[in-house]
Amino acid sequence: MENPSAAWASLPSWLLTQTAHHAHRLVGEGFSAAGARGYHYRLLATLEECGPASQATLGRRSGIHLSDMVAAINELADQELVERAPDPDDRRRNIVSLTAAGRRQLRRLEKRLAATQDELLAPLSPEERHRLTELLSRVLAHHDGRTPGASS
């Protein structure tokens, strides 16, 4: 891309958008190299953090729309990274849980994600990275209507 006009090249919204494009590409490439997608990571991480859950609950916890949830869970189940079992309290719904293979895949994805963060933030010192994360968290929390640092 050619250099943008100086009038808008320093706007935070422009800088955030351009950086987000790079972040999305880097994360996507990292996950793809491990045979995964972002939804896979989010589901595996949510299952590890919160434990087995129904598809609807997983969707709320991971922020994945229900229409995308079924396909992502099917993909993970086909790879034996998660398993589905009937809910003993409501046999019409399934409970999804993480398998040992799913935990191993999650560790691989976490390593890829850490490498991606390092690549994205390469020009920043550890202190600058921490501060940037704090500031972005505060801006996002404000627009999401929640307190920074509070879990969603």
Whether 87 has a pLDDT exceeding 60, the answer reads yes
- 25-144: CATH topology: Arc Repressor Mutant, subunit A (1.10.10)
Whether 92 has a pLDDT exceeding 90, the answer reads no
For 68, the token pair is 């995308």
Average pLDDT, the chain: 92
Whether 71 has a pLDDT exceeding 90, the answer reads yes
Concatenate the DSSP letters of all residues of 16-75 into one string.
HHHHHHHHHHHHHHHHHHTT--HHHHHHHHHHHHH-SEEHHHHHHHHT--HHHHHHHHHH
Give the span between the Cα atoms of 58 and 69, in whole angstroms.
8
Across 15-36, average pLDDT: 95
Across 59-88, average pLDDT: 94
Which residues, other chains included, contact 58 with Cβ-Cβ below 8 Å and sequence gap of 6+? 43, 46, 47, 64, 69, 73, 96
Residue pair 96/73 in contact (Cβ under 8 Å)? The answer is: yes
Give the span between the Cα atoms of 20 and 152, in whole angstroms.
21
Q: What is the predicted pLDDT for the residue at 150?
A: 56
Give the span between the Cα atoms of 38 and 23, in whole angstroms.
12
